[in-house]
Amino acid sequence: MRALVQRVSEAAVRVDGETIAAIGPGLLVLVCAMQGDDDTRPALLAGRIARLRIFRDEAGKMNRSLRDTGGAALVVSQFTLAADTSRGNRPGFSTAAPPAEGERLYLAFADALAAEGIPVQRGRFGADMKVSLVNDGPVTIWIEA
């Protein structure tokens, strides 16, 4: 699985003009299940993200995790993280998991992150979502598990 993690002051997801999920300080996690991902990947990725030390401590250093801060996560499915741009100008997405498998692993990831003690909000798999965020830092990290 792949994830693009952004430290945010706030983030929200709208579908058809309605806000379906929103968080204050925490992480926006764009996540993509890849072909060949097995059932161990969601929990592995969730653990890494829950413990990722990218929040400021009292000295202003990135030394605290989402668990330490009590922040929330907004988890959004993003199959375009599987983009292959090695040929031409049109990306290919054949390395992304098929939709049914991708949705299952996406939901398992969100559940695993919640099991780590993180308050989790979710986007809607397969929907045309409008994602808004205030990137804090900015801090953006790419993670694979």
| Segments in the chain below pLDDT 50 | none
Please report, in angstroms and rounded to a whole number, the separation of the first and last CA atoms in the chain.
5
Q: Is 50 in contact with 59 (CB distance < 8 Å)? A: no
Domain positions in the chain: 2-144
Q: What are phi and psi of 141, to 5 degrees?
A: -130, 135
DSSP 5-52: EEEEEEEEEEETTEEEEEESSEEEEEEE-BTT--TTHHHHHHHHHHH-
- Based on the residue annotation, tell me whether 55 is a catalytic residue of this protein: no
- Based on the residue annotation, tell me whether 93 is a catalytic residue of this protein: no
Q: Which of 19, 35, 69, 79 is catalytic?
A: 79
Distance CA 96, CA 32 (A): 7
Q: Which of 6, 55, 78, 109 is catalytic?
A: 78
pLDDT in tens, 35-71: 999 999 999 999 999 999 999 999 999 999 999 999 9
pLDDT at 23: 98
pLDDT at 105: 98
Token readout for 140 is 């953006």
Q: Which of 80, 85, 95, 125 is catalytic?
A: 80
DSSP state of 50: H
pLDDT at 60: 93
Distance CA 128, CA 70 (A): 29
pLDDT at 21: 98
Fold of 2-144: D-tyrosyl-trna(Tyr) Deacylase; Chain: A; (3.50.80)
pLDDT at 114: 98
**Residue 6 amino acid letter:** Q
- Based on the residue annotation, tell me whether 6 is a catalytic residue of this protein: no
